[in-house]
A = this chain, B = another copy of it.
Amino acid sequence: MLSKKTKYAINALVYLSKKPPKQPILISEIAEHENIPQKFLEAILLDLKKAGILASKKGKGGGYFLLKSTDDVNMADVMRLFDGPIALLPCVTHKYYQKCDECVDEETCGIRSVFLEVRNQTVDLLKKATLAEIIKRGILIH
């Protein structure tokens, strides 16, 4: 399951995606509309900014807005940012490969083989799941 942090991040991103481009939106507005504790949301937005997904404008009339295009923000990136690797085993992560503690002999890598396939397919799907795609599907349903 996704952590609350990731869920909040996705909800906030979708909310911002529906606003006119570059228009700064108040943290308080997002927090209220999406039912997110404001202070918690501040930290999340800050992380998204550090990751280059959002930008912010300070002072009166300031707020957060989407920096990247909705086509360029996908769920794989967001999940990795807050929940870490998508892989189910440390030995099948793309960047941070680590031998499983439990791995005693090489025969066990039948397990690895299977979970590598799961990871690859999941990542592919999550990369296709962009903000643009989410919004498109949201519209189609109504």
> What is A's interface to B at a CB cutoff of 8 Å?
1-2, 4, 7-8, 10-11, 14, 18, 33-36, 75, 84-85, 87-90, 100-102, 104, 106-111, 113-115, 117-118, 121-122, 125-126, 129, 133-139, 141-142
- Is B36 within 8 A of A102, CB to CB? yes
Q: A110-B137, A135-B110, A138-B109 are in contact. Are A11 and B102 (CB under 8 A)?
A: yes
- Closest-CB distance, A17 to chain B (whole angstroms): 10
Secondary structure at the A interface, as helix, strand, loop or mixed, is helix
- Is B137 within 8 A of A114, CB to CB? yes
List chain B residues, Cβ under 8 A from A142.
106-107
List chain B residues, Cβ under 8 A from A88.
1-2
Q: A2-B89, A87-B1, A102-B8 are in contact. Are A110 and B138 (CB under 8 A)?
A: yes
Instruction: State in angstroms the CA–CA spacing of A64 and B87 once bound together.
Output: 30
List chain B residues, Cβ under 8 A from A133.
110, 114
* Minimal Cβ-Cβ distance residue in B for A103: B11
User: Could you say which of B8, B113, B121, B134 contacts A121, with CB atoms under 8 Å apart?
Assistant: B121
* Minimal Cβ-Cβ distance residue in B for A110: B138
List chain B residues, Cβ under 8 A from A84.
1
User: Could you say which of B107, B111, B122, B138 contacts A107, with CB atoms under 8 Å apart?
Assistant: B138
14 CB contacts below 8 A, A to B, read A1-B88, A1-B89, A7-B89, A10-B111, A14-B108, A109-B141, A110-B137, A110-B138, A111-B134, A111-B138, A114-B129, A117-B125, A121-B122, A121-B125
